[in-house]
Amino acid sequence: MSALGGFLPFNKWSQESNAQPPKGNKPVVVSTWNFGKEANKAAWNILSGNGSALDAVEAGARVPEGNPDIRTVGYGGRPDRDGFVTLDACIMDQNDQCGSVAALQHIKHPISVARKVKEESPHVMLVADGALDFAVSQGFEKEDLLTEESRKDWEAWKEDADYSPEINIENHDTIGMVAIDSKGNLSGACTTSGMAWKMHGRVGDSPLIGSGLFVDNDVGAAAATGLGEEIIRVNGSHLVVENMRRGDSPEMACKHAVERIVSKNDSVDGIQVGFIAVNKEGAYGGYSIQEGFSFAVRNSKEDKLVDAPHLN
């Protein structure tokens, strides 16, 4: 046991466990799911030109937000059970500054509104109509985000859904993105349309600093995807970063957070949660409850999709 009662000093690796700092390669960007690969391309354009991690994650997150074929993020995202497309997003930088919007309608790029909240308001989080008013005041255009495909899906769902939100592993997928730049600064972004057919007003983990995303420039950054209610209950991304602070590699930090969620449930059948993380050295990792979670990595040597290791 260390003099700090088991807690390691900031950014120091455990001497007791003989853990070696995992080797990393900076800059690097890591994003959730297969669509993360396309998003990483936009982020890498910035990182490879010595741009900031903050600019990189915003640019990357805007890619799936603007793509109507991605039905779980931004424009084209599936609506709630009343037919409203409501978006959640947050962003956090190397100075612990963060911005967030939740239940935002009519704005295609909530990640950029979240950044404006961080930089142009005295607050961290704005929701619903207040977030929309703020976005419009900042020059964002009001648009209809419900595409024909998503409207048809909703009509079909209503036919036999009994108006009940469904919790399963298919009807959601957020982009969470974490990056470290050539100066060694970390930032992250997270954006989603949330769980399809959710109750109107439901907010998941994705816009909540500490749940969907957390960054500590001394240690690392983490982001989450999956069933938001479970991620919120353990403050998942903060937990991953704290695990890294205590000496875990990014992958082990994600695994331990997954195990925490599993330990809180009698059964995790049908529940998916995945985490990604990057540390101060540029090492990365991810982990999920169930098989099927993938994450995308881009650095000077790699541009790849990784099937995340999983518990079940």
* Catalytic (active-site) positions: 174
Closer to ligand ASP by CB, 56 or 196: give it.
196
Is 174 an interacting residue with respect to ligand ASP (CB under 6 A)? yes
96 DSSP β-pair partners: none
Report the amino acid identity of residue 139: G
Per-residue burial over 269-297, b = 16 or more CB atoms within 10 Å of its CB, e = otherwise: eebbbbbbbbbbbbbbbbbbbbeebbbbb
- Which range, of 133-141, 202-210, 213-221, 285-293, touches ligand ASP by CB under 6 A? 202-210
Q: How far is the CB of 202 from ligand ASP (least distance, A)?
A: 8
What's 238's DSSP letter?
H
Q: How far is the CB of 225 from ligand ASP (least distance, A)?
A: 4
Element (DSSP H or E) covering residue 181: none
Q: Which residue reads 């859904």 in tokens?
A: 161
Q: How far is the CB of 17 from ligand ASP (least distance, A)?
A: 32
Instruction: Identify whether the C-beta of residue 243 lies closer than 8 Å to the C-beta of residue 256.
Output: yes
Is 268 an interacting residue with respect to ligand ASP (CB under 6 A)? no
Is 228 an interacting residue with respect to ligand ASP (CB under 6 A)? yes
Is 192 an interacting residue with respect to ligand ASP (CB under 6 A)? yes
By residue count, the chain amounts to 312
Is 173 an interacting residue with respect to ligand ASP (CB under 6 A)? yes
Closer to ligand ASP by CB, 47 or 111: give it.
111
Q: Are strands 175-180 and 186-192 parallel, antiparallel or unpaired?
A: antiparallel
Question: What are residue 157's phi and psi, to 5 degrees?
Answer: -60, -40
Residue from 55, 65, 181, 205 in contact with ligand ASP (CB under 6 A): 205
Closer to ligand ASP by CB, 77 or 282: give it.
77
Report 269-308 residues binding ligand ASP (CB under 6 A): none
| Other beta carbons within 10 Å of 137 | 11
Q: How far is the CB of 71 from ligand ASP (least distance, A)?
A: 12
User: What is the C-alpha to C-alpha distance for residues 165 and 182, in angstroms, rounded to an integer?
Assistant: 43
Is 230 an interacting residue with respect to ligand ASP (CB under 6 A)? no
Closer to ligand ASP by CB, 136 or 311: give it.
311
Instruction: Identify whether the C-beta of residue 241 lies closer than 8 Å to the C-beta of residue 215.
Output: yes
> 117 burial class (0-12, 13-18, 19+ CB within 10 angstroms)?
buried
Q: How far is the CB of 48 from ligand ASP (least distance, A)?
A: 28
Chain positions contacting ligand ASP, by CB under 6 A: 172-174, 192, 194-195, 204-206, 225-228
